[in-house]
Amino acid sequence: MHLLSGPRMDEKRYIALMADETRSLLLFISDDDGTLSACVCVEHKASTNQVYLGMLSVSPKQQGTGIGRFVLQTAEEQAVALWGVKSAIMNVINKRDELIAYYERRGYVKSGDTEPFPYEQLRGIEDALCEDMFFVRLVKPLK
């Protein structure tokens, strides 16, 4: 079931993301052919001593190979090493039950917090194919 159509990222959003000093984009390149295998956006939330993980994506050809788990673990470990954060947080669309279950298997739990889905901000970039979406906040304590 597709919830969004269109590109997740455009050049303007990418440039703004890279200009923000509180965020880093970790890119994982395939050794086989040099293509992008996975990425994750890592944002330090100094005021709460947390790291926000977003835009975690894995190439469809690489899904099921363990790279998603590796990317997530690497992002968490780097955040602890660089900033000494105590927990990781992320938002997942409420309709993505299989994705929420994936993160729960990796130690994340639902915090009980939700955020509205940004329908208006996406217009012209990607289109929501469902009207009753919101974000579920997941949190994981880090060592």
Q: In the chain, what are the domain boundaries? A: 9-141
If one counts every other C-beta atom within 10 angstroms of the C-beta of residue 121, the result is 9
pLDDT at 125 exceeding the cut of 50: no
Q: In which band, very low, low, confident or very high, does the pLDDT at 1 lie, cut at 50, 70 and 90?
A: low
Quick: pLDDT tens for 43-93: 999 999 999 998 888 888 888 999 999 999 999 999 999 999 999 999 998
Q: In which band, very low, low, confident or very high, does the pLDDT at 28 lie, cut at 50, 70 and 90?
A: confident
Q: Which helix (H) or strand (E) holds 42?
A: strand 36-45
Q: In which band, very low, low, confident or very high, does the pLDDT at 141 lie, cut at 50, 70 and 90?
A: very high
pTM for this one?
Answer: 0.81
The reported pLDDT for the residue numbered 48 is: 95
The reported pLDDT for the residue numbered 8 is: 56
Can you read off the two tokens belonging to residue 115? 């955020």
Q: In which band, very low, low, confident or very high, does the pLDDT at 100 lie, cut at 50, 70 and 90?
A: very high
User: From the CA atom positions of the chain, what is the Rg in Å?
Assistant: 15
Higher-pLDDT residue of 121 and 77 is 77
Q: Which helix (H) or strand (E) holds 10?
A: none
State how far the Cα of 58 lies from the Cα of 112, in Å rounded to an integer.
Answer: 27
The reported pLDDT for the residue numbered 127 is: 52
Can you read off the two tokens belonging to residue 86? 């105590």
Would you say domain 9-141 falls under CATH 3.40.50.1950?
A: no
